[in-house]
Amino acid sequence: ETGVTQSPTHLIKTRGQQVTLRCSSQSGHNTVSWYQQALGQGPQFIFQYYREEENGRGNFPPRFSGLQFPNYSSELNVNALELDDSALYLCASTFLSGSVNEQFFGPGTRLTVL
């Protein structure tokens, strides 16, 4: 148990719709990162939030956006869904410090876009 939870577990949407995925970080962790994991691949970094501000973004378009709240929860929003957005979405929380940044993952949300 990592203490990181995600909801929902599974979600089915159609192309063009919008989706919001939620994550609850470990208590005390000031940083949350979101990753997209396509079938048979390693996770790919989407973006990171530190103290409620975006702190870095991977190679994902602006229709992927996020929010982080003071109560250790966060959201990933995806607009104008495309078929290729079908994947497992993982959040990972950590306490960002100078030298150690061990990230603890939630169980993920499986998104299917039809």
- Residues near another protein, by CB under 8 A: 2, 4, 6, 31, 33, 35, 40-45, 48, 55-56, 58-59, 90, 92, 94, 96, 98-108
Residue 88 CB, shortest distance to another protein, in Å, is 8
Residue 77 CB, shortest distance to another protein, in Å, is 19
Residue 11 CB, shortest distance to another protein, in Å, is 14
Tokens 């103290």 belong to residue: 51
- Compare residues 14 and 101 and give the one whose CB is closer to another protein: 101
Contact call for residues 31 and 55 (beta carbons, < 8 A) = yes
- Compare residues 34 and 81 and give the one whose CB is closer to another protein: 34
Amino acid, res. 21: L
How many other C-beta atoms lie within 10 A of the C-beta of residue 66?
22
Residue 48 CB, shortest distance to another protein, in Å, is 5
CA geometry: angle 61, 25, 10, nearest 5 deg: 60
- Compare residues 70 and 98 and give the one whose CB is closer to another protein: 98
Phi, psi angle pair for 3, to nearest 5°: 80, 5
- Compare residues 6 and 74 and give the one whose CB is closer to another protein: 6
d(Cα 97, Cα 79) in Å, to the nearest integer? Answer: 32
